[in-house]
Each structure stands twice: as C-alpha cells, then as structure tokens.
Amino acid sequence: MLGFLNLNKPAGLTSHDCVAKVRKMLKIKRVGHGGTLDPAATGVLPIAIGKATRLLQFLPTAKAYHARIRFGVKMTTDDLEGEIIATKSTADLSLEKIEPHLSNFLGKIEQIPPAYSAIQREGKRMYELARAGEKVEVPSRIVEVTKLEILAWYPGEFPELEVAINCGGGTYIRAIARDLGEAVGTGGTLVNLMRTESCGLNLADSLTFEELSDRLTEGTFELTSPEQVLSHLPRVTLASSEAKRWCQGQKINLSQEKKSSLFVQVYGEESFLGIGEIVASEKEQLLLPKVVLAS
C-alpha cells in the first residue's frame, strides 16, 4: 500500500492514537501522520500509509482552521484542556472593540507557542516538562497567517468569537486565542478547533473512522495518490532507461526546461518513482535521487 488517508479526526484522540487505530484497521505497520492535532481538536489529519511515510516531509505546509475563542478566561494550556488561571466577566466586550486588533495577527508574526505543546527540548516534549512542574520558557518563532476572517460573534458574560484562519506550518491557534485575549485586555482561550485543510487535503473529502470501516468492509476504500498530495511540486517524467538508472541511485542530466523548485515528483513512463532533488549549474541541470519508492 502506498498513499494517503484523509482522516477526519474525532475529539478525544491524540494524533498518535489515530495512527495506531489506522494501523490496526488497515493491518499495516508502516503508518504516520502529517501534522499533530491536539486531542480536543477535530478535522483533517493526513495519514501516510506504507512507503508514503517517506513523503511526509515534502507535503505542503499550509493549513486552515475554524476556531472558537472565549474571552474573559485564561487557561494554563490556552484551551479548555488545562486549569483555569483567571476569569473576568467581559459582558461589555463587543465585536467592534476586537476588530481593530485582528490585523496584528496577519502576515508574518512573532508567536510564543503554548507551554503545553509538543515542541521538543532536550529530547522531551514541552507538555511533559510543564506537567512535571518544571518552569518552561518557550522561545518565540516567526509564523505566517494569511487569512483571519470573522465567522460569528456570540455575546454574553464570556463572549465568544468564531474565526476562519489560514496559516503556515508551526502556527499555534491556541496562541492566537491567548494573544488576542491579551490584546483586548480580557484574556482569551481556545474552546473549539476544527482543521479544515492540511497538506493539500480538505475536510469535505475526509473520512471518519466509521466511514473508513464501512468502506473497508465493502471493499471500496482507496488511498489518495501521492500525485494528488504532491501536486505543489513540479513533475519530471523519465524514459524507461533513465528511470532505471535513477532508481539505482544515479544522477540524470535533464535537458528539459529548468525547474524553479528544489524538489520534484519523479515518474517513469507508467508510475510514480519518488522524489528527486534538482542541482543546477550554468551548464547543466542534474536530477538526483532523494526518495526512491520504486523497486
């Protein structure tokens, strides 16, 4: 098996739990995921099956979410999974007071990830250190948010804002909820998160575990092909003799138009072979094997 599963992750399971469940359902050991989702979050979790696990590093990094932020509440984890730090009645908070701050969260922004995160430090996850009572100082990082659109506003003692967010890899939506709450002076926390797009896969095409089980029983389940998930990479097709040499680890001199991308999809005359790396000079353009999947 070689391809991807567009899984609609349910709430309550870690990404690792989902990998283990898919491994059992498909009866295959080689399974990996393309981007962690917190246990409480739902939505698109790309799952690589078989040799496709070697392609995870080449998938597009753009992601999209629907998030619901509650104002007037601060949590240790920046979502409802943690403990309450402080609460503050904010019934007087209006959408008009929040809107001027949203532009500060667009573009390339500096963000401090939550202390309870899967980021590793000295071989341990940040959340492991935080749960052990250690003081966790999380370094800031530059992330990119390309869209922040208001979907709905729910007034009340602790009002809530629902937004659509498009962003690059490494962006923590919990941190946006926390920082937006700080910006308006009330504190804020994430109360609901659904990922609608990840690694080029969309929520509309995703499968729940129940749907996956039904398709396996009916014999109608099909993996998403590497070609579809890697469509952001240019494609190079080799003649049979070149394809054989490339699969054996040899460099191929390309006479085709120069590629602007460092990595490309490589195909033989009939099938996907793997990922190639372009090394170009003024005189030639060489295609090197990076990940060879063909036998």
Q: Indicate which residues carry an active-site annotation.
A: 38
Rounded Cα distance, 42 and 7, in Å = 10
Residue the block writes with tokens 């072979």 = 273
The one-letter amino acid code at 244 reads: K
Query: At residue 88, what are phi and psi to the nearest 5 degrees?
Result: -155, 120
Of residues 189, 291, 262, 216, the one with CA closest to residue 5: 216
* Structure tokens belonging to residue 276: 């190639």
CA atoms within 13 A on the CB side of 82: 22
Is 173:190 a contact under the CB 8 Å cutoff? yes
Q: At what angle do helices 15-26 and 209-218 cross, to 10 degrees?
A: 10
Pairing of strands 42-50, 188-198: parallel
Exposure string of 27-64, with b = 16+ CB inside 10 Å and e = fewer, is eeeebbbbbebbbbbbbbbbbbbbbbbbbbebbbbbbb
Alpha helix locations (H) across the chain? 15-26, 95-102, 126-131, 173-183, 209-218, 226-229, 240-247
